[in-house]
Amino acid sequence: MGTIALQLYSIDGVDDETATKVEEVADAGFDGVEFAGIDGSDRDVAEALAETGVEAPSAHVGLEELENDLEGVVERYADLGVSEFVVPYLPPEHFESREAIEETADRLSAVAADLPDGTRLHYHNHDHEFVEVDGEPALVALLSLTDDVLLEPDLGWIGTADHDPVDFLEEYADRVSLVHVKDYEDGGQPVEGGTGDLDLEAVAEVADREGMEWLIYEHEERQDSYETARNGAGYLAPYR
């Protein structure tokens, strides 16, 4: 594994513009950031990335925004170095039946097909995508219906859904380049990295063996503090 990043949603509660957050994330020791929207000017963000050497491989962008203005989204984020677009969430009704899953797959596949060369679409899971539909988890069905859509597996949510995150990561490794590392306790409570049940050493071993590109830290419980970023960088740094 070569690179570690922070999902900026982890510090969403900090009252700074995105450019300042990029600088703080660099100081914490991360190699990259994953956007969850941008506060402030894109130019300031681009300058912060250039000055710090931090990369921006990916951005979370809603499916409807991608459907309505794909060209504009791609053009905006290309100026920041982003080539990986991640649909961060779809509500449970998109996975409640085979018909719903097929419709979801069609929408995701249509966006993926329209992306320009050098860019890719991913889907980021929560736990509700693991509801059983016709004898298998809805997420598994979705993957079988979307050859051109990658998965950004959120390991904390996979564990919350009572599936083994490491086993799932290994089974679907050919669909993964971005890994959301979120530590959790039994029962699904997110915790600071290194204090919960996630076997990060095993995760990193799979990621390294399978050539996954980024370990992306996310923690949702202390979004108003840069301490979250510092803790996350220290947690992931041994697995660069």
Q: Which of 76, 25, 23 is nearest to 50 (CA)?
A: 23
Question: How far is 21 from 8, CA to CA, in rounded Å?
Answer: 8
Q: Average of pLDDT values for 2-22? A: 96
The chain-wide mean pLDDT, for the chain, equals 97
Question: How far is 179 from 4, CA to CA, in rounded Å?
Answer: 10
| pLDDT at 166 exceeding the cut of 90 | yes
Residues whose CB falls within 8 Å of the CB of residue 38, separated by 6 or more in sequence, listed in order: 18, 45
Give the per-residue pLDDT at 143: 99
Give the per-residue pLDDT at 45: 99
Question: How far is 189 from 113, CA to CA, in rounded Å?
Answer: 36
Q: What does the pLDDT look like over 116-153, one tens digit per residue?
A: 999 999 999 999 999 999 999 999 999 999 999 999 99
Q: What does the pLDDT look like over 47-94, one tens digit per residue?
A: 999 999 999 999 999 999 999 999 999 999 999 999 999 999 999 999
Two tokens at 218? 């996310």
Two tokens at 55? 């990369």
| pLDDT at 2 exceeding the cut of 70 | no
Higher-confidence residue: 190 or 44?
44
Please report where in the chains the tokens 């799979």 appear, as a residue: 206
Give the per-residue pLDDT at 223: 81
- Of all residues in the chain, the percent with pLDDT exceeding 70 is 99
Question: How far is 45 from 32, CA to CA, in rounded Å?
Answer: 13
Domains of the chain in start order, with CATH, are 3-239 (3.20.20.150)
Give the per-residue pLDDT at 36: 98
Residue 193, class by beta-carbon neighbours within 10 Å (0-12 exposed, 13-18 middle, 19+ buried)?
Answer: buried
Q: Which of 174, 166, 173, 195 is nearest to 183 (CA)?
A: 195
